[in-house]
Structure 1
């Protein structure tokens, strides 16, 4: 099945709706356990995998990287790579696994990613991006999207970003998430690249005005639902939140369903209770408690008992024999301190 460049693939209405708010793909953080935890707090928010490299799937056969729980839907697979045919094969594997969206990473600035000629360095090779996206679209029926920066190094974002979006639109890519910072491939660490380059939200707003038919989400430095609503009110189609959703998950995701006019999650304690069967099953299959609970440390951030919660989980969940009673003990400590 081959799709012509001028043939626009329809966006899934469910995914388009979910993309009003998404949790960013974050290496070592947004694994399947993290996503299950996040899903309990929001029924609607679009969740992304960590970046999975196309070579790992296609050449390495690491199909376990595609594992997820059915409850995680709507869920997107983010791929890293720069070879069109390899990405097409990886996208096909993702679609066969049931992912709702396949996303191409054009924003990660790490040295490891650069050495593979993918991530943010692809902003310097827009035709390669077009070739990759086209090959992925030809391989799958689910939507193929892109996450990018506003530019890299000495590029001028006001010139680079509209050209980049125009090329993507021309081949039928309708949904792009823009991290509203440049990436400096030399001189800044990945951590510094998340904080030091200045944010340019206005440029992303202008891109939405220039490309009204595209579904554009904004990312970078956004930490609250109030900010999210403000960007949506400004005309952006979606907002992607990263570190705040991980470190203060309840503050971001506990009330997130209100963005869709639905009731928010009821309580943090209810989320803990919802995790217990999942964790028990994980341990029964040979997993370790801390593999899940490490993602839950921020659940009570800013609340009485938060320190005790973190302390118990950090110290008692590490052992090979740790069981869910550690989580129950931590919750009781929080409830006692809050009483």
Structure 2
């Protein structure tokens, strides 16, 4: 497994991480034992950058990851997040970046994960009611206390990142980036590079759409949250299938899967970019890691650009209420 440094932070991670969210919620049926085997396989293959959050499964995902890495703590780079608050039954309660909450959330995550420190601690969403300087100040206290090694933000604007970075170095920004979500190329990615901040790309396979495995709305299970995502509905779904078909044609010529092509494209956008595709199955994990062996030449990149230019996807990334929580 190749390694990449997150910006100029000094934090080195596997070039491809593993998003663990779907192991506990959101994407249909669950199989915790297979999920744990998937994490173990990722570690065996060198994919040691694991991503979770306290809101995934209302804490259950952190507990699952904690069980999976027991006895292997020194072999992984562990990232988790705070700030998206939910009730015990999963009801959203808003965003909280208040200093006292930051410290409570960290302690709770450490307990669930069964570890004494978090390698990379993100604010999951920016709290519009708490100055970012106060939130990051509390996060910096966690670094001083030895509970956290590096700090990150998720879905933050350049203005917010700049304010945060002035309080304490921000090692990474985690934001959606893929062949159907390329908005970060305009301002956010250049800004991160200017500041020496690494970029962690979540949903690099478009919540599974870019894999080519989802052919119709009915392929989604009844409890799959993508049924409420604008890009998976109606005319948007049909238009986005056309985009996936174009990607699939190029992938066939490269003798790889659509997933591998999408990840190889993202990896080619810069050594400071680390995709974290999520999966709960070993077979898909191994397929994703195969993207590291794919080389794209200038002609490949040109054809992919023509097939999936910025703005090609139909529909917003999230439902309206969720879009309002993104700092822009």
The structure with the largest alpha-carbon Rg is 1
Highest RCO, 1 vs 2 (Cα 8 Å, sep ≥ 6): 2
- Give the TM interval when normalised to the shorter protein: 0.3 to 0.5
TM-score, normalised to structure 2, is 0.48
- Between structures 1 and 2, the one with greater helix share: 1
